[in-house]
Chains A and B, each alone.
Chain A
Amino acid sequence: MDCLPDYAELHCLSNFSFLRGASHPEELVARAAALGYAALALTDECSLAGVVRAHVAAREHQLKLIVGAELQLEDGVRLVLLAADRRAYGALAGLITVGRRRAKKGAYRLGRADVEAQAAHGLLALLVEGDAHWLAAHFPGRAWIAAELHCGAGDRAKLESLRALARASGLPLVAAGDVHMHLRTRRPLQDALTAIRLGMPVARCGRALFPNAERHLRARVRLAQLYPPELLAETLRIAERCDFSLDELRYEYPEELVPPGETPAGRLAKLTGDGLAWRFPSGVPQKVRSLVDYELQLIAELGYEAFFLTVHDVVRFARERGILCQGRGSAANSAVCYALGITEVDPGRMQMLFERFVSRERNEPPDIDVDFEHERREEVIQYLYGKYGRERAALAATVICYRPRSAVRDLGKALGLEAEQVERAAGSLSWWDGRRVLPERLAEAGLDPSSPALARLAKLVEELIGFPRHLSQHVGGFVISRGPLAELVPIENAAMPERTVIQWDKDDLEALGLLKVDVLALGMLTAIRRALEFVGLRMQDIPAEDPAVYAMIQRADTVGVFQIESRAQMSMLPRLRPENFYDLVIEVAIVRPGPIQGGMVHPYLRRRRGLEPVVYPSAAVQGVLERTLGVPIFQEQVMQLAVVAAGFTPGEADQLRRSMAAWKRKGGLEPFEKRLVEGMLERGYRREFADAIYRQILGFGEYGFPESHSASFALLVYVSAWLKRHYPAAFCAALLNSQPMGFYAPAQLVQDARRHGVEIRAPDVCVSGWDCTLECGALRLGLRMVGGLSADAAARIVAARTQAAFGSVEELARRAVLDRRDLRCLAAGGALAALAGHRRQAHWAAAGVRREEGVLRPALLQEPALRLPPPGEGEDIVADYASLGLTLGRHPLSLLRPRLEGLGWMPAATVQARAHGSRARAAGLVTCRQRPDTASGVIFVTLEDETGCVNVVVWRDVAERQRRVLLGARLLAVEGRVEREGEVVHLIAGRLEDHSALLGGLAAPSRDFH
């Protein structure tokens, strides 16, 4: 081995050079380490988006990573720049930012002058193509000519001419690989990426493809055959000069939040003190006081004051604007955050230990996500940009990756498949098939999976899935820095104008320990604020632990309530029977794939009902699991178990959490399994217990839900449930005004409100505003419910109406300056009934209004009245759905009932009353199809008719067999078996039928369903 030359690869692209590199950064690092390279430079084209992943992998493989980038200048010069030190890194990030900000998303533009401007800052340069003399002049002693040999016919001549160029320019030669893939077996994928980039089939790409697979990480023995030894040795000299690691990046908090003369700690203490006085006007309880003191001390110790001050500043701004917000996350549910107004979860209400959330040993940044009303989050974002400037505040990136469908589409085209086949193959993939192209799906779509072309497609698709495609904005992860952010990470343009995004995503930031503040949008906050406004209350006015609210929740009467309105949650509620706030915290976390796959749900329920003894294998485990009856439910508990039972350090436990998130993608949990199980056996736990814990950890994977988030969500659960219980009309109106949000469509929300005795009134131009309103306890639908009507038009209607009532459609049109389109929408929504009569009449009147340059034709006024025959009930109901998405008339199924009965389908109420195990045949409108993220492949379908809902469970085999009916039917009929557990009734589907055609008949005049 020792006779092999050492080598450092200095020119290597990952798949973050989109549609060029054919390997993940992690794969490149692992391969370079396996080949015994001395170092690897990741030099993606004008991008540092992949370097953090490479950095993390390099740490793991103990490989030296060099950060760099390849640049193609506008005049044809192509070079690689390498960061020798922190200063050079900043210059590189700045240069990339300049190039990227100048061009539209995904592109960049750089010239020689841009490179010259950064040349003095210690960057090393490798010339790949172009003017050596220019480079020599600007990078004295820091420039090389890259000799990249790929086994071409002209290699020898090429090397000779490079030697001549080196002599003439005085630059030394160095070996480099122009690496595009970690293994030569990625050649088909690399060719296919080229084809996608060029937008033509690979067979027509001709010589735009690389002639061979030499652009992979080559074995050193092979390099020794290709390159003169001095060129290989030179790579090591360059690698040695690169003395920069991403670990050196230190995040520095913005300074402006601390007034001159104060310290961050003093400022935080003062604000917390003020907050306590506001929260506890009659005196701060001693318990809270000591908790705050303890937390402040911990914050000071870790130096996190500025972070809390930053979040506080955002929340303060929102509060001043009347924007409802709520913090969640590891640090949010602390007494300090309660005092600062970041959360409404009273620390006295729960036994939270702040240390559980901010760990002394873990040395990771605290995590606070702040949810804002979804319609007003933009104001908060603009505030942050305004306050810190675009040079210092930017959104984190979300790496948009290839998914099965996009991979099939792009690769199908690249392989030259016919558009029809590509569409078929793409269309055959369903959201539940995961990452693979299943042969049976292709066969089902009429394609032959064994044909060579499709076999190639399937193989490439599996490789391509997960490849980054482009960078998009994270939903709200803000990075704010003290100095220019561009010296920390390159910034580029986002698709939305005036938006910028950094090249790193949230995991990258976390891996480097950089701080971000998550500014997220939450529809429920908007709805809660609106409902509180309707009833004239504030969030803190809502009484805690109202038994009536819990009684309602136990009945699963929770349509519209935050989180616990989903089918899965609803079926859990009557079993779990939450009685207090902490039960809600558990309820929110337990109906998740983590606990379900980890098998925690049933043990917990049995223990809760006293059917199974609550036992702990040790006192230490009892400390961790006591609050959940010995069953781990929260992500934090699993981490803590690793610490107390298996002897992990908190840092290792955190690593375990990260690996869990990635293991489904890459595997690699085995070393943890060994450590975990052995650690527990050493500490005297039984083998079965250790294996069970490991299985639970696997189950938790990326889906484990943290208690810290659950607690904040539980508060919103309680508040929304309280509003629903006591003010159903206001709650429903607020939900309707905040659409789109939540689990249910307006039709279901209105149905539910009506079942709770709320009178709903139709939208009416003579009384409705834009929003839904309350009229003496009744809910008046707003004009926002009228499909297609603009808010501006509604505002003009309201303004004109306040001066005088409208006498006719013509007068409405004239005074509110409405055009025919507006009027057509109003007629379709039934909002003209008061002025024009039934819907046909309204349409006739609306169409008669003609506006020509703002003047109404006077002839219209003399038009004789016309009496059109009224529409049938079916036609009206269909028109209601088309415009409003709901009807206030009879349920469409009540019109179809005689036919359905003739066909032997029973109403929902009948199904609800059936005995356990009996057969039932139900038909209804599909209001919801849901596939919980569990592996079992079950699909939940909710059918609605005039008597209520039927919850259908479709197991995988039926779903596979009757996939088209299941996905396509609007009116679905299900024959199956009733399963009853207490009040919870499910219909287990045996056979499905699509009766959507009956709905089409409703509007037809020839049939009468009265």
Chain B
Amino acid sequence: MLWVALCFPRLALQARLRGCALPEAADEPWAVADNRSVLACSAAAEAAGVRPGSALAAAWVLAPQLRILPRDPGAESEALEAIATWAGQFSDKVSLEPPLSVLLEVEGSLRLFGGVACLITRLRSGLAELGFEAQLATGPTPRAALWLARGEAQTLPALPVEAIDPPPETLELLRTVGVRTLGELMRLPRAGVALRFGEALLCGLDRATGEAPEPRAFFTPPERFSAKLELPAPAGEAERVLFAARRLLVQMEGFLAARQAGVRACTLSLLHRNGRATRLELGFATARRDAEHVLRLLRERLGAVGLASPAEAIHLEARTLVPLAGVSPGLFGDARTEAEAWERLTERLQARLGSARVHGLATHAEHRPERAWRAVAAGEEAATAELPPGPRPLWLLEPPRRLAEGDFVLLSGPERIESGWWDGEDVVRDYFVAARGASLAWIYRAREGWYLHGLFA
């Protein structure tokens, strides 16, 4: 048996940041924080003296430019599963060791990949392409491999006791009695250790040395490929989207390789602010799986379509797999039959007019009339805010039109609205209902004069 342990000390950070192509993702100090303390930080942050566990306030003192992301535990476990899925191409015995590690049993795959050293190299470079930085180690037992990967030592006795990740009180006691390494720990009398540190510690040691067996559950990869990547810095240019997409395409490649399959089509969705999305359907003449090819196609498509607005996340999906060798002709073409007619209509309208120009309407709790409504996705049933008490026309002019004095007859009012200082668009207005020719108008007086803001039907 030969185990490889992949340990990701910066998983919490990289799970959030790996989609960022920016140089700052690599060269600037970043940290993921939880409860006002640093959970994981980038190399640049570490160089400035920030360490996992530092209080945020202290971290800022050391690295004033430190940028903070809040912790997202969901993203971390998704990342670990993504790694496990990808690693399926190297072994069918992949085991999760949450929160930060993945274990592979590789005895059977060694020949295929040209020996341990080659395998390790391929793992390392592949993980780097996925956007994860790993500490790797091999060992005869899963636990030994795991500990050696964590502790970055050559042999078990040389490992610092921290590498076995004992409970805090055990670690404290080990320190106070002067035990720093696993070797020193193993030299203590067994009965004494059991009494003071509990059987669990001994059991772990025995599993590491192979004295006791360690049963492990293996990871079952999902049937379909679907992966999402949040972009902490929204990507406004095609290159940045492509960088992030490449992470997911490499991930998909691993997934497909493990299944000896390919795809004839996949969908990349760019998710924008306000829940809008751009869907890019990619179809291939023959089944493919290699990331670079798909990426080229994607680059062309993006170049043609362009980015409507910055993407805050991307989502890659491949529903139907085909064996890479064969081609199944019936698969392409009928995949979207479930779409409803109105969806097609709005899509068509959006395609014709631009996606930003077709939407639904809902009321919004705000005093400023121009902001008392909001656009919602076409067809969405949006929660509606209570309507304001005063008269409100259905048709608002945007922007309001300047009126000459004497161009209207005031009928009722004023309704004074002063609001909005917080976003720099403060309004100070007295609204009136007025007759303007034959129409009933909603007008207001501001510092600069009179304005027509709306027309009652």
* A residues less than 8 Å from B419 (CB atoms): 191, 209, 211-212
CB <8 Å contact, A212 and B417: yes
* B residues less than 8 Å from A416 (CB atoms): 422
What per-residue 1/0 map shows which CB atoms of A196-229 lie under 8 Å from chain B?
A: 0000001100111101111000000000000000
CB <8 Å contact, A153 and B390: yes
What per-residue 1/0 map shows which CB atoms of A136-168 lie under 8 Å from chain B?
A: 000000000000001111101000000000000
What per-residue 1/0 map shows which CB atoms of A350-377 lie under 8 Å from chain B?
A: 0000000000000000000000000000
* A residues less than 8 Å from B196 (CB atoms): 844, 847-848
Which chain A residues numbered 400 to 448 have a C-beta less than 8 Å away from chain B? 415-416, 419-420, 423-424, 427, 444-446
* A residues less than 8 Å from B189 (CB atoms): 864, 866
* A residues less than 8 Å from B388 (CB atoms): 153, 207, 211
CB <8 Å contact, A154 and B390: yes
**Does B339 make an interface contact (CB < 8 A)?**
no
* A residues less than 8 Å from B65 (CB atoms): 446
Which 8 interchain pairs have the tightest Cβ spacing?
A206-B365, A153-B390, A153-B415, A151-B416, A843-B176, A212-B418, A847-B196, A212-B416
CB <8 Å contact, B418 and A207: no
CB <8 Å contact, A446 and B195: no
What per-residue 1/0 map shows which CB atoms of B65-86 lie under 8 Å from chain A?
A: 1111010000000000000000
CA A191 – CA B390 in complex, angstroms? 21
**Does B177 make an interface contact (CB < 8 A)?**
yes
Known interface pairs A843-B176, A847-B173; 5 further A-B residue pairs with C-beta atoms within 8 A, sorted by A's residue number? A153-B391, A188-B422, A211-B388, A843-B177, A848-B192
With both beta carbons as reference points, the residue of chain A lying nearest to B424 in the complex is identified as A452
**Does A911 make an interface contact (CB < 8 A)?**
no
* B residues less than 8 Å from A423 (CB atoms): 36, 56-57
**Does A36 make an interface contact (CB < 8 A)?**
no
Instruction: Point out the residue from B57, B178, B366, B417 that lies within 8 Å of A868, measured CB to CB.
Output: B178
**Does B356 make an interface contact (CB < 8 A)?**
no
Instruction: Point out the residue from A214, A828, A857, A1005 that lies within 8 Å of B176, measured CB to CB.
Output: A828
**Does B222 make an interface contact (CB < 8 A)?**
no
**Does B354 make an interface contact (CB < 8 A)?**
no
CA A864 – CA B195 in complex, angstroms? 13
Q: A940: shortest Cβ distance to chain B, in Å?
A: 21
**Does B191 make an interface contact (CB < 8 A)?**
yes
CA A444 – CA B56 in complex, angstroms? 16
**Does A839 make an interface contact (CB < 8 A)?**
yes
CA A420 – CA B419 in complex, angstroms? 27
Q: Give me 23 A-to-B residue pairs in the complex whose CB atoms sit less than 8 angstroms apart, sorted by A's number.
A: A152-B415, A153-B413, A188-B421, A206-B364, A207-B366, A209-B367, A209-B419, A212-B417, A416-B422, A446-B64, A456-B421, A827-B176, A844-B177, A847-B173, A848-B192, A850-B195, A859-B195, A863-B191, A863-B192, A864-B189, A968-B58, A968-B61, A1005-B178
- Interface core residue of A151, A153, A156, A452 (most chain B CB under 10 Å): A153
With both beta carbons as reference points, the residue of chain A lying nearest to B64 in the complex is identified as A446
With both beta carbons as reference points, the residue of chain A lying nearest to B422 in the complex is identified as A202
**Does A539 make an interface contact (CB < 8 A)?**
no
What per-residue 1/0 map shows which CB atoms of A296-323 lie under 8 Å from chain B?
A: 0000000000000000000000000000
**Does A869 make an interface contact (CB < 8 A)?**
yes
**Does B431 make an interface contact (CB < 8 A)?**
yes
**Does B60 make an interface contact (CB < 8 A)?**
yes
* B residues less than 8 Å from A214 (CB atoms): 416
What per-residue 1/0 map shows which CB atoms of B393-428 lie under 8 Å from chain A?
A: 000000000000000000011111111011110000
Count of interface residues, chain A, beta-carbon cutoff 8 Å: 56
* A residues less than 8 Å from B64 (CB atoms): 444-446
**Does A871 make an interface contact (CB < 8 A)?**
yes
CA A843 – CA B385 in complex, angstroms? 65
**Does B188 make an interface contact (CB < 8 A)?**
yes
- Interface core residue of B60, B176, B412 (most chain A CB under 10 Å): B176
**Does B448 make an interface contact (CB < 8 A)?**
no
CB <8 Å contact, A211 and B173: no
Q: B367: shortest Cβ distance to chain A, in Å?
A: 5
Instruction: Point out the residue from B70, B192, B367, B431 that lies within 8 Å of A866, measured CB to CB.
Output: B192
Q: B371: shortest Cβ distance to chain A, in Å?
A: 10
Count of interface residues, chain B, beta-carbon cutoff 8 Å: 47
**Does B340 make an interface contact (CB < 8 A)?**
no
With both beta carbons as reference points, the residue of chain A lying nearest to B414 in the complex is identified as A151
CA A206 – CA B417 in complex, angstroms? 13
**Does A506 make an interface contact (CB < 8 A)?**
no
CB <8 Å contact, B367 and A207: yes
* A residues less than 8 Å from B417 (CB atoms): 211-212
CA A202 – CA B366 in complex, angstroms? 11
Which chain B residues numbered 191 to 242 have a C-beta less than 8 Å away from chain A? 191-192, 195-196
CB <8 Å contact, B176 and A839: yes
**Does B272 make an interface contact (CB < 8 A)?**
no
**Does B338 make an interface contact (CB < 8 A)?**
no
A152-B389, A206-B385 are contacts. A446–B414 as well, Cβ < 8 Å? no
Q: B66: shortest Cβ distance to chain A, in Å?
A: 8
CB <8 Å contact, A206 and B366: yes
**Does A615 make an interface contact (CB < 8 A)?**
no
- Interface core residue of B177, B365, B416 (most chain A CB under 10 Å): B177
**Does B180 make an interface contact (CB < 8 A)?**
yes
Instruction: Point out the residue from B60, B385, B422 that lies within 8 Å of A446, measured CB to CB.
Output: B60
CA A203 – CA B425 in complex, angstroms? 12
What per-residue 1/0 map shows which CB atoms of A805-830 lie under 8 Å from chain B?
A: 00000000000000000001001100
CB <8 Å contact, B57 and A427: yes
* A residues less than 8 Å from B334 (CB atoms): none
**Does B300 make an interface contact (CB < 8 A)?**
no
What per-residue 1/0 map shows which CB atoms of B350-375 lie under 8 Å from chain A?
A: 00000000000000111100000000
**Does B386 make an interface contact (CB < 8 A)?**
yes
A188-B421, A866-B188 are contacts. A211–B416 as well, Cβ < 8 Å? yes
With both beta carbons as reference points, the residue of chain B lying nearest to A857 in the complex is identified as B195
CA A848 – CA B65 in complex, angstroms? 48
**Does A187 make an interface contact (CB < 8 A)?**
yes
CB <8 Å contact, B178 and A187: no
CA A871 – CA B178 in complex, angstroms? 7
CA A184 – CA B416 in complex, angstroms? 13
* B residues less than 8 Å from A857 (CB atoms): 195
CB <8 Å contact, B68 and A420: yes
CB <8 Å contact, A427 and B60: yes
With both beta carbons as reference points, the residue of chain B lying nearest to A872 in the complex is identified as B178
* A residues less than 8 Å from B421 (CB atoms): 187-188, 191, 456
* A residues less than 8 Å from B57 (CB atoms): 423, 427
* B residues less than 8 Å from A446 (CB atoms): 60, 64-66
**Does A537 make an interface contact (CB < 8 A)?**
no
* B residues less than 8 Å from A35 (CB atoms): none
CB <8 Å contact, A424 and B60: yes
A206-B385, A866-B188 are contacts. A151–B61 as well, Cβ < 8 Å? no
* A residues less than 8 Å from B365 (CB atoms): 206-208
Q: B179: shortest Cβ distance to chain A, in Å?
A: 9
Q: B362: shortest Cβ distance to chain A, in Å?
A: 13
**Does A840 make an interface contact (CB < 8 A)?**
yes
CA A456 – CA B425 in complex, angstroms? 13
* A residues less than 8 Å from B431 (CB atoms): 153
Q: A341: shortest Cβ distance to chain B, in Å?
A: 50
CB <8 Å contact, B180 and A203: no
CA A291 – CA B56 in complex, angstroms? 63
With both beta carbons as reference points, the residue of chain B lying nearest to A456 in the complex is identified as B422
With both beta carbons as reference points, the residue of chain A lying nearest to B368 in the complex is identified as A211
CB <8 Å contact, B424 and A154: no
CA A848 – CA B176 in complex, angstroms? 13
CA A423 – CA B424 in complex, angstroms? 23
CA A214 – CA B417 in complex, angstroms? 10
CA A153 – CA B417 in complex, angstroms? 10
What per-residue 1/0 map shows which CB atoms of B126-165 lie under 8 Å from chain A?
A: 0000000000000000000000000000000000000000
CA A39 – CA B423 in complex, angstroms? 38
Instruction: Point out the residue from A427, A452, A840, A968 that lies within 8 Å of B177, measured CB to CB.
Output: A840
Which chain A residues numbered 848 to 881 have a C-beta less than 8 Å away from chain B? 848, 850, 857, 859-860, 863-864, 866, 868-869, 871, 875, 879
CA A843 – CA B192 in complex, angstroms? 13
